[in-house]
Amino acid sequence: MGFRHPVQVLHGVSAYCLMLVLSLGLLWLAQWFGGLPAAFARVGAMQVACLLTIALVVGTGRLAIAPTLGLARCSWSSLVAALLLGGGLMVLVAATLARLYYLGEAEDHARAVDEVLGEARVQLGGLTLALMVVAFAPLSEELLFRGLILRGMLDRFPPWAAVLVTTVLFAMLHAHPVHSLVTGVLGLACAIVVIRQGSIWPAVIMHAAWNGSAMLMDETGVPGVLPLWTIAPALVMIGGGILLMGRR
């Protein structure tokens, strides 16, 4: 699965640190240009850094791209299941853990994120922002976290340890404790799905469904915290996704 050369190849935590450095560098560089580059960097610097990190690790290690990143074929039923799981988890979180955003300074963090996205929507356009949030972000982040890092750690550690480490790294990326907790749910689910399916694609679809559901709620004026009764349909979606995912 990769990471077999102890000198040439960066292991998971090192790849994560490299991605952070590249993200900060891209943000700093974009500020010199201002305008559209700066607007793009505020939303997409981390995702570009994810792809650059993958290119550096795969290139320096001379690794086979498909097995290293988990680019295996998967069934259509697993992709449909991923849609249900991603959307269902987003609704479930919005009805439960999202309530933590309204405790103390967490609300300020949520408002700051909304302001950044609002500015990006004005400068980049709604369609561009939607593509970045629903397509570019899930693809690049899953390729790094559940592709390169998770699969690399599975070569060295038992599955539970690899899942735990990648979930924590992914959650830490989102800065605020509440936001980290919420996104940690997504990271954990995606890691389990990748191990279960042996392919990165269901995780990409699940991540896209999560982001898309959140963006749709925002665009349609649905409150960020859903009423408790929405837990029931969320569990139905999640249950349906699990059943479909089991049909291989």
What pLDDT score does 5 carry?
A: 36
| Rounded-to-integer distance, Cα 220 and Cα 128, Å | 18
What pLDDT score does 111 carry?
A: 66
Cβ-in-10-Å burial (0-12, 13-18, 19+) of 73 comes to exposed
* Amino acid at the residue 75: S
- Contact assessment for residue 81 and residue 189, using Cβ atoms and an 8 Å cutoff: no
Q: 221's torsion region: left (phi>0), alpha (psi -120 to 50) or beta?
A: left
What pLDDT score does 168 carry?
A: 93
What pLDDT score does 74 carry?
A: 93
What pLDDT score does 99 carry?
A: 82
| Positions of E strands within the chain | none
Per DSSP, the three-state class of 205 is: helix
| Rounded-to-integer distance, Cα 24 and Cα 49, Å | 9
Quick one: which of 181, 182, 151 has its CA closest to 166? 151
What pLDDT score does 89 carry?
A: 97
pTM for this structure? 0.90
Distance of CA 179 to the CA centre of its chain: 12
Residue 18 sits at the vertex; the CA angle it makes with 29 and 45, to the nearest 5 degrees, is 40
What pLDDT score does 6 carry?
A: 36
* Amino acid at the residue 183: T
- Contact assessment for residue 172 and residue 12, using Cβ atoms and an 8 Å cutoff: no
Tokens of 210: 């999560």
pLDDT tens, per residue, the chain with 248 residues: 443 433 333 467 789 999 999 999 988 888 787 777 777 887 888 999 999 999 999 998 888 999 999 999 999 999 999 999 999 999 999 999 888 877 665 556 566 666 767 777 777 788 888 899 999 999 999 999 999 999 888 888 899 999 999 999 999 987 778 888 999 999 999 999 999 999 999 999 999 999 999 889 887 878 778 999 999 999 999 999 999 988 75
What pLDDT score does 140 carry?
A: 97
Residue 237 sits at the vertex; the CA angle it makes with 233 and 242, to the nearest 5 degrees, is 145
| Rounded-to-integer distance, Cα 101 and Cα 104, Å | 8
DSSP 69-129: HT-----HHHHHHHHHHHHHHHHHHHHTGGGGGGSTTHHHHHHHHHHHHHHHHHHH-HHHH
DSSP state of 200: S
Per DSSP, the three-state class of 3 is: coil
